[in-house]
Chains A and B, each alone.
Chain A
């Protein structure tokens, strides 16, 4: 089975995000990491290949630095990688990203594509479905649990009030929620081996895409500070904290 896992390289998820003059998130020259959401997908992909046989390929689109995220996935045990880097892709929106990833995935071949539900920095959460549409396959999304058997995938899909069981034929795109799996830590051996693993590098034209395909349809025109509310009252609890809250609730006529 050919398993493709998607990996986005994002600015340090625990850091303070910064915007450049062009209102785009600064991705170069800032510390970054494999999107924590994608670690669940990488783990799911590895488990699938371990159970079913086959190879896992990590596919990523991003700047040079995105190699960092790719390497993390390789050191977790992924077999090979595809990284698409192109200056024209700076500031691309989800449609452009979906086109690029679809072309790269088609080149690699796939039975299953696993993505995160949403990225930590962009959190649009629509890329995997656009990708599935471009690949012409079904998508099963928000999986908190997944099983693949006999050319079929069966997932528990998170819903507003509980969960649905969704089944689909393969090939398909699957998105996994945080908590769907327990991502493994790279071992020292894994980290050493990662350096030897094959990494294909592509540009937009290598994928047979044109400049039009890579033109974003959205642009941030301005960024303003949101109206701030004044600072609230902060009190150290010396045993009277509960009374202060009760008084506040009374003033608010909640009690």
Chain B
């Protein structure tokens, strides 16, 4: 009988949406689906995790798991793995889970696949390469558990209907010498407007906007549309035009809105992986050869600094009229 685990990222009052996606996937792979949740918020998350298919949740609310970076969670997860022997563990490709998975791999000597777009069995997964133009099927060997980091939004989360999870309190002692790397401060910039991952319309800007001030053209367009999230490429994030939490792509967020605007964005493969599953893509770029046009449903070859304000006007008048 196969057993697949989901490593769920939790915080007080919040279960990461990706954990629910992973549980949905896990249900299609195994009869026994269980979750591991470590850190404040773990126990209260069990209800939601159960609704999405976790039969048991190994939970600990101990702050050691949120204060210490990676080593504490990796240690405890390893203890649980030895005791319960899952065949596979699914993680979300996020900051904390990535660190835990990397460490666990070195402890168990098992395979670790990153950037999976699908998992097709307890020994097989898929990943999109070359900006999503190709799909590589990968066979996973070596000792159990197979470890897989899945890109967020690769599957749609669906509740299981029935089922509440059996909460199994985790009582693992974390050795002192594994508490060396600690979070001492947290700084969170609460974004205004809809969240990038949840917005129906995402308007992203790149270096083609010429200067940071021109991002306000995107804000104005968003306002005319009655709300949209603003995204950006890594090029402009690295230049400090907008904060990192705007970044869409391989090292940023994955989005799947109804409409995605790529404005002054060349369409580098690392950007495409974060947005190409959008339902409709509108690109504005002055270079007709820009790779972004290959995946655009509607491409305007032109100057963004002219087209965007004109569009904002046009939308206002159509809405008004």
Among A123, A128, A241, the most chain B Cβ lie within 10 Å of the Cβ of: A241
Are B259 and A220 closer than 8 Å at their CB atoms?
A: no
In chain B, positions 122-179 with a C-beta closer than 8 Å to chain A are: 128-130, 132-142, 149
> From A172, which residue of chain B is reached at the shortest CB distance?
B181
Are B299 and A234 closer than 8 Å at their CB atoms?
A: yes
User: Out of A117, A133, A233, which one reaches B74, CB within 8 Å?
Assistant: A133
Q: Does B311 contact A (CB under 8 A)?
A: yes
Are A95 and B105 closer than 8 Å at their CB atoms?
A: yes
Q: Does A88 contact B (CB under 8 A)?
A: no
B140 neighbours in A (Cβ, 8 Å): 217-218
Are B184 and A166 closer than 8 Å at their CB atoms?
A: yes
* A177-B250 Cα distance, complex, nearest whole Å: 13
Are A255 and B315 closer than 8 Å at their CB atoms?
A: yes
Interface of chain A: mostly helix, strand, loop or mixed: mixed
In chain A, positions 9-58 with a C-beta closer than 8 Å to chain B are: 17, 23
Query: How many Å from the CB of A80 to the closest CB on chain B?
Result: 26
Are B301 and A235 closer than 8 Å at their CB atoms?
A: yes
Are A221 and B139 closer than 8 Å at their CB atoms?
A: yes
B237 neighbours in A (Cβ, 8 Å): 179
In chain B, positions 237-254 with a C-beta closer than 8 Å to chain A are: 237-238, 243-245, 250-251
Interface of chain B: mostly helix, strand, loop or mixed: mixed
With A242-B314, A255-B225 known as contacts, the answer to whether A134 contacts B106 (CB < 8 A) is yes
Task: Mark interface residues in B200-236 (1 if CB within 8 Å of A CB, else 0).
Answer: 1100000000000000000000000100000000100
Q: Does B102 contact A (CB under 8 A)?
A: yes
Are A158 and B95 closer than 8 Å at their CB atoms?
A: yes
- Chain B residues with CB under 8 Å of chain A are 69-71, 74, 94-95, 98-99, 101-103, 105-107, 109-115, 128-130, 132-142, 149, 180-191, 200-201, 225, 234, 237-238, 243-245, 250-251, 258-259, 280-282, 284, 288, 293-303, 306-307, 310-311, 313-315, 318-319
A–B Cβ pairs within 8 angstroms, 15 of them? A93-B111, A94-B105, A95-B106, A126-B101, A130-B102, A133-B106, A139-B69, A159-B188, A162-B187, A165-B186, A167-B182, A231-B294, A233-B298, A242-B310, A252-B258
